[in-house]
Structure 1
Amino acid sequence: MAGPAQANGRGTGHDPRAAASTHNITGAGNTSPPEDPASGAERILDAAIDLFGQQGFESTSLKQIAVRAEVSAPLVIHHFGSKDGLRTACDARVADLYHAYKSDAVARSASPLPRNYVLEAVQTSRPLVRYLLQAFLTGGEHTDALFDRLVEDTLDYMADAERIGLVTPSANRRHRAVVLLLQGFGALMLHRQMKRLLGASPLEDPPEKLGAYMAAVLELHTQPLMDTDVYDELIAGLLPQESDDDVDPTPDDPTPDDDAGPTRRPPDPRPA
């Protein structure tokens, strides 16, 4: 029997990237044979992610999911116990796939990324993005747990990005990960304003039309926005001064390894 634990790709032998290439969430259709006991659970997850993302959690019934997955409604209960259990499994699946996409993008960034790969990644991850948007709009304990998982995953692939020199080390990796997610998904929640002012929405338009948005994001991440001479003064005014007694001996965000190099500030773009 395939339950929620098996739906989560970590530690079960299930490759989320393989699932992404063979199931409905990428629009490729179902490829698992109907007689495979695991295929019913996989189809249910794909259908639920798609419908939850399109209609929201409250507006989507287990019967609708069963019809989309081409299974009986009792089979949904058999695999996941309840609608709440199904959502928990969907959260885990979406987090697994999102982490796989990000990790793969970091690995590919060791060499120049072909433009078609970037556009393909945006296109194939759209059902996941719709699901995440609905989760953030709904809120609650499920969303809190999902966001916490996304933070941990961001720390994981950002550490890989640091090791290959794609990003600079941070004074506080966890805070940086949280802010990156807040900014990225905050833009998603304002996707209609994005389309109105920049010409395209990641939920409605082909990725080829997202050039203006992506160019602005890349500029913000690669070019200094502020005069670096005022960095230390601003940080001193924003963060409380800590005494030795205030320092947590086992912080969540450890000091970077020696081989990661010192924490770097953005280069001063002004001519010498």
Structure 2
Amino acid sequence: MTYQYGRSRGAGLRGSGPGSHRAPDGQADGHSTQDAASTHNVTGTGNTSPPASAKERILTAAIDLYGRLGFDGVTVKEIAQAASVSAPLVIHHFGSKAGLRAACDAYVAEQFRRTKTESVRRGNLPRNVAHEAMAANRHLVKYLMRAFMEGGETIDAFFDQLVEDSLVYTSEAEEIGLVYPSRNPRHRAVVMLLQSFGSLILHRQLERHLGVSLLDDEPNPEGLDAYMATVLELYTQPVMNAEAFAELLAADAEAHTEATEPGSTQDRSPRS
């Protein structure tokens, strides 16, 4: 998967105290957002940050619950309970549920921007680092899947930010020789993001064919290896025959020129 991003606070949030979210029937679902806050770290190297503030705990809890249950299936009260704060404090920090959602978008985007930038600056993404990063960012991956499935103007702005951030870290990768330049960097960024997040929407098919889902809390290492190896092959090895592709482009350009020449039956421009 290709990672991407926005602008917000730093990584490595950490909560304290109990905070298991309860399912609608009142039974604990076995997943603690406080545990998530204490273990998720964007670098995948374990958490070494100081205890998180109430605002950070709210963000972590909201991202985790939204990713697992959807945006309409979670209330401010549930988020507050998971973060061990009061519901009025959530509104105090974020103004409204919509404000909290916008803050979550910005935070998630920032974490993925950081992850991608760090991998670019390392110059590679070894197998163990990639696995650790995937595990550490699982709650963010689930959030992204929910967000893209929901769609709407909110996610449009979110995707636009991911594109802008992608242009920055990809340019840095070009400068160190890790990535080839593109004739149209923006178009390339958009298409790569679309392809990357498509694997989230179609995670069931990914699991059926490669034996791994990017949403699994404990993904199959062999399946993840197969997925990552295939992605790297697509990005580093030619798929199409370069000479055949050049001939195809030339033929297409020639056909376009003939179709727009004066007197062509396909030339529909008005004549004086």
Please indicate the TM-score interval, normalised by the length of the shorter structure.
0.7 to 0.9
Alignment partners' CA distance in 2, 1:39 and 1:8: 18
Superposed CA offset, 1:198-238 (max 9, x none)? 11111114262311111111111111111101233444538
Q: 1:166 and 2:178 equivalent?
A: yes
Match of 1:97 in 2: 111
Alignment partners' CA distance in 1, 2:155 and 2:141: 14
Match of 2:228 in 1: 214
**Matched residue type, 1:122:** M
Runs (5+) with no aligned partner, structure 2: 1-5, 16-33, 41-46, 258-272
8 Å contact kept, 1:8–1:92: yes
Match of 1:152 in 2: 164
Runs (5+) with no aligned partner, structure 1: 1-6, 243-272
TM-score by length of 1: 0.75
Alignment partners' CA distance in 2, 1:227 and 1:56: 43
Greater RCO, CA 8 A, separation 6+: 2
1:190 CA displacement: 0.6
Q: % of aligned pairs identical?
A: 54
Q: Report 1:185-200 matches (<5 A).
A: 185-200=197-212
Which protein shows a greater Rg?
2
Q: How many residues align?
A: 222
8 Å contact kept, 1:95–1:150: yes
Secondary structure of 2:67 counterpart: helix
Secondary structure of 1:20 counterpart: coil
Match of 1:82 in 2: 96
Q: Report 1:100-249 matches (<5 A).
A: 100-109=114-123, 112-204=124-216, 205-206=218-219, 208-209=221-222, 210-235=224-249, 237=252
**Matched residue type, 2:12:** A
8 Å contact kept, 1:26–1:127: no
8 Å contact kept, 2:203–2:214: yes
8 Å contact kept, 1:198–1:212: yes
Alignment partners' CA distance in 1, 2:115 and 2:203: 21
1:22 CA displacement: 4.1
TM-score by length of 2: 0.75
CA spacing shift, 1:79–1:91, aligned 2, 3 Å: same
Match of 1:270 in 2: none
